[in-house]
Amino acid sequence: MKTLARRRQLLAALSTLPLLGVRGALAQDKWPSKPIKLMIGFPPGGGADAMGRLVGAKLGERLGQPVIVDNRTGATGTICSEMVAKAAPDGYTLQVAHINSNAIGPLLVAKGKFHPIDDFTPITLIGITPQMLCHHPKHKFKDVPALIAYAKANPGKLTFASSGVGSIQHIAAEDFKLRAGVDMLHVPFKGTGEAMAALLSGDVDLTFSSTGSAVPQVKGGKLILLAVGSPKRLADYPNTPAIAETLPGYDIATWYGLAGPKGLPPAIVDRIASEVQAILKLPDVQKRFHELDATVSSGSPKQFGDFWRAEVTRYQKLINDAKITA
């Protein structure tokens, strides 16, 4: 049995030699011979920008060429995604892939302009941040069941803010509505900043938000943190229940990755993935991610691609089930 197992290992290793030879030849090319553009579909100050700039700077150091961030905002990040999808697959245009700009948004606000994943090359996952359900202090909901009871008794009265149609905040609330069997009014804004300002002023009642936007307001006593969107309670917030404790199966999070246009050479993909995975292990990077309440997540290009495709399939079903339109 040991001999047979060893033979299989050798055969598997030998079968990869031609591929390694091709990739090795590609890797010996002069890439990168000029600066690399890292496109981000969101403005400076947010999670995508913070993670992208940090990883991009360190990637540039390791590659010997600067990685220049290019923020192209609008349409839930899909304007940026469309530009990347149409870019040359030469390794000089990369993107911080995001659940809004590369999974949900293309299914709604940019439908038909590009495929959410087939027009891209997945490189690696970078991080994941949970969603938080927060409400204005004018409401005295003690828990998620109390919120659901109020919403059922007052259909259509509660309003929830989002950073735009097709954003993770929008979808998180629609999933909540569908599972809880309640009706709440969606109020979309142009970005997280506007949505948060409306909630802080009491113009809207609640929102689903990333930890980076929600936690400072919660700590300042300006918002009430009711629950988190992760399957289980978060280690840093042990007293805050998960929505899944009331609505089993609820699991909404924001993810960030690195991608390029379709057809990116495998040697370049492997090189970037390897470098980024090493970067994500650095203590200062992990410290900064923790400050952003982000879980460091990496993996191979295939693993990221499989995850990404599953997310697109999942949210397409939710959009259909909840009858969500742009």
50-61: per-residue pLDDT in tens? 999 999 999 999
Average pLDDT over residues 198-220: 92
Where do the CATH 3.40.190.150 domains begin and end in the chain? 33-129+253-321
CATH fold for domain 33-129+253-321: D-Maltodextrin-Binding Protein; domain 2 (3.40.190)
Across 99-121, average pLDDT: 92
Residue 19's pLDDT is 41
Q: Kindly report, residue by residue over 37-77, the tens digit of the pLDDT.
A: 999 999 887 889 999 999 999 999 999 999 999 999 988 89
Quote the pLDDT of residue 21.
Answer: 41
Contact 241, 233 (CB under 8 A): yes
Question: Where in the chain do CATH 3.40.190.10 domains reside?
Answer: 130-245
Residue 326 pLDDT: 74
Q: What is the mean pLDDT of residues 141-166?
A: 95
Residue-level pLDDT at 18: 42
pLDDT of residue 76: 86
Output the average pLDDT for the chain.
89
Backbone angles phi, psi at 234, to 5 degrees: -85, 145
Q: What CA–CA distance (Å, rounded) separates 252 from 266? A: 31
Instruction: Please report, for residues 172, 177, 179, 206, 253, the alpha-carbon distance to residue 247 in angstroms, rounded to integers and kept in the order given.
Output: 13, 10, 7, 18, 15
Is 68 strand, coil or helix? strand
Bigger pLDDT: 12 vs 149: 149
Domain 130-245 has what CATH class?
alpha beta
Render pLDDT for 274-292 as a digit per residue (tens, 0 to 9). Answer: 999 999 999 999 999 998 8
